[in-house]
Amino acid sequence: MTIQEMVYIVSDSVGETAELMVKAVASQFFGKDVEIQHFSYVEDEQDINNVITVAKYRPSIIAYTIVLPDLKDYLDQRADEEQIIAVDLMHPLMNAFSQKFNMEPNRQPGQMRKLDENYFKRVEAIEFAVKYDDGQEVRGLKQADIVLVGVSRTSKTPLSMYLANKQFKVANVPLIPEVPPPKELFEIPRKKCIGLIISPEKLNEIRRERLKRLGLTNSASYASLNRIFEELTCAEDIMKKIGCPVIDVSNKAIEETADIILAMFNKRGSFA
C-alpha cells in the first residue's frame, strides 16, 4: 500500500462506526491501520461534492454511513459518475431489519452517539452510587439527585443501584440511634431526600435471615424487636426533621419502590 491510497469516511454524524469497520477490514489486508480522512456531519449535496472532488484525484474508497435517503442516493450517483468505489455500511443491515421486523428506521443521524451518551451517564451514576453508598463520603449528598435514608436492611443499596441504572446519581445514608445523622442531610433541598420505612415484623424477619446466612445466632440485638422499634422510632424522627417524603417498603419489590420515586419526580418535577 502506498501513501497515496486513502479511505474517505463520510457520515451525517461523527463517523465512528464507519471508522471501526474500515480499520477492521484494513487489518485483513495491510496488517495496520489504513490512511483515513473524515468528512463528518455532511448535510447537503455540496458536502458530497467536496468529498468527490478530493477523492477522484487519489486511489481511494469512500466508506459511508448516511441514513438520509436523498443524500445517500446523491453520493452513490456522484461516486458512480467519477468511477469511485463507494461502500454503504449501513443500508444493507437496515434493510434486513426492516424486512425481518416489519419496521421502518427513523432515519435520524447521530442516534448511536445518543446511545453512547446514555451509556456513559449510566456508568457515571453507578460509580456515584458505589462511592456514596452507606453514608460514605457525605460530601456527595449535595451532588446527588436522590438521597435515600433509612435503617439497615430497608433496601437502600439495591434501590440506589437500580435508580443509578436509570441515570440518577443516588447516595444513601443509614440512620442509627447512636450515630448523629450528617449535618449535610439538613442542608440539602428536602426535595432530594426520600425516607424508607418498614414494618417491625418484616424487618425482624429480614434481619433474622441475614444473621442466619452469616452463621450468627438470632439472639443478637440486631434482630431483636426492641432494638428494631428503637431504630425505627429514631429514623422516623429524623425524617420528620428533614421534612422528606416517606415510603413504606415492607412488601414492595425494588422496582416498585423505584417506580414510586420516579412517579414523584415526574409528577412534581422534584421530590418535595
Lowest-confidence pick of 78-82, 141-145, 216-220: 216-220
Q: Which of 54-58, 72-76, 87-91, 134-138 has the highest mean pLDDT?
A: 72-76
- What's the pLDDT tens digit per position in 223-244? 899 999 999 999 999 999 999 9
| Percent of the chain at pLDDT exceeding 90 | 59
Packing angle of the helix pair 69-81, 45-55 (nearest 10 deg): 30
- What's the pLDDT tens digit per position in 59-116? 899 999 998 889 999 999 999 999 999 999 988 988 899 898 898 877 676 665 555 6
153 a known binding residue?
yes
- What's the pLDDT tens digit per position in 164-180? 999 999 999 999 999 99
pTM of the model: 0.61
Residues 104 and 235 in one domain: no
What CATH code is carried by the domain that includes residue 68?
Answer: 3.40.50
Element (H, E) at 252: none
The pLDDT score that the predictor gives to residue 32 is 57
150 a known binding residue?
yes
Residues 126 and 51 in one domain: no
Please choose, from the candidates 89, 95, 80, the residue with its C-alpha nearest in 3D space to the C-alpha of residue 10: 89
Residues 55 and 175 in one domain: no
Range of the domain at 81: 6-109
Please choose, from the candidates 234, 74, 249, 54, the residue with its C-alpha nearest in 3D space to the C-alpha of residue 162: 249
214 touches 224 (CB < 8 A) = no
Say how many domains are in the chain. Answer: 2
| Of 109, 140, 157, the domain-final residue | 109
241 a known binding residue?
no
Residue 242 lies in a domain: yes
Residues 100 and 231 in one domain: no
Say if residue 34's pLDDT is above 50: yes
154 a known binding residue?
yes
151 a known binding residue?
yes
Residues 76 and 131 in one domain: no
Alpha helices (H) in the chain, listed in sequence order: 16-26, 45-55, 69-81, 91-101, 111-131, 156-164, 200-213, 225-242, 254-268
156 a known binding residue?
yes
The pLDDT score that the predictor gives to residue 70 is 92
The pLDDT score that the predictor gives to residue 254 is 94
62 touches 86 (CB < 8 A) = yes
| Percent of the chain at pLDDT exceeding 70 | 90
121 a known binding residue?
no
For residue 147, the cross-strand partners are 171, 193
The pLDDT score that the predictor gives to residue 116 is 62
| Of 86, 109, 132, the domain-final residue | 109
Packing angle of the helix pair 111-131, 16-26 (nearest 10 deg): 100
Q: Rounded to an integer, what distance in angstroms lies between the CA atom of residue 40 and that of residue 8?
A: 10
Say if residue 18's pLDDT is above 70: yes
Cell reading at 75: 453520493
For residue 11, the cross-strand partners are 65
Q: Report the half-sphere exposure of 157 (CA within 13 A, side-chain side).
A: 9
Q: Rounded to an integer, what distance in angstroms lies between the CA atom of residue 182 and that of residue 191?
A: 17
Please choose, from the candidates 12, 6, 9, the residue with its C-alpha nearest in 3D space to the C-alpha of residue 20: 9
Task: Give the pLDDT mean for 123-140.
Answer: 91
pLDDT band of residue 19 (cuts 50, 70, 90) is: confident
Question: What are the phi and psi torsion angles at 76 (to 5°)?
Answer: -60, -45
